[in-house]
A = this chain, B = another copy of it.
Amino acid sequence: MKNSSRYTVAIHVLTLLAYCGSEPVTSEFIAGSVNTNPVVIRRLLANLRAAKLVSSQGGPGGGWQLLKAAKQITLREVLAAVDGGSIFPMHSSDPNPRCPVGRAIQVVLEGHFKSAQLALEKDLQRTTIAALVESVKSTS
């Protein structure tokens, strides 16, 4: 995941929101659970809001809430929300087009990479935020 913890933190936050029920939760409170800065949380949640997973409310009593039922949110959509593109980065500078392998390798790999990523996503789709809440509760 791009060597970043954004995906893990996003799942953590959504699980926390589901765990807290329907009450709005502030970014400061969330940051306390994740152990980071509220701004980091707000930046991440802005992505999840763009994906229609959460909503935000300003002012006193405001905060963040799930926009979909926890049972309807899968780890697959969370991944798509925080890390849009491909799991496998291509060459940083394009390979040599005068080499037969260099010329073709990216096109050839693209299909295999997409297939592998699809397999990954299919597996992630099996898990919902609601399931994680249950697991968290039973991990007493």
Contact = CB atoms under 8 A, between A and B. Distances in A.
Question: How many interface residues does chain A have, given as a range?
Answer: 35 or more
Q: Is the interface of A mostly helix, strand, loop or mixed?
A: helix
A34 B25 CA distance: 49
Interface string A7-23: 11101100110010000
A101 B19 contact: yes
Interface in A74-96: 75, 87-96
A138 to B, nearest CB: 9
Interface in A96-117: 96, 99-109, 112, 115-117
Interface stretch (A44-52, A53-61, A118-126): A118-126
Nearest to A100: B136
5 contacts: A12-B102, A32-B96, A33-B101, A35-B93, A35-B102
Interface of A: 1-5, 7-9, 11-12, 15-16, 19, 32-36, 75, 87-96, 99-109, 112, 115-120, 122-124, 127, 132, 135-137, 139
For the complex of A and B, the 5 pairs showing the least CB-CB separation, nearest first, are: A119-B123, A104-B139, A33-B99, A2-B3, A120-B120
Given A2-B2, A5-B89, A103-B139, 7 more contacts: A7-B88, A8-B109, A33-B95, A34-B96, A100-B136, A104-B136, A105-B136
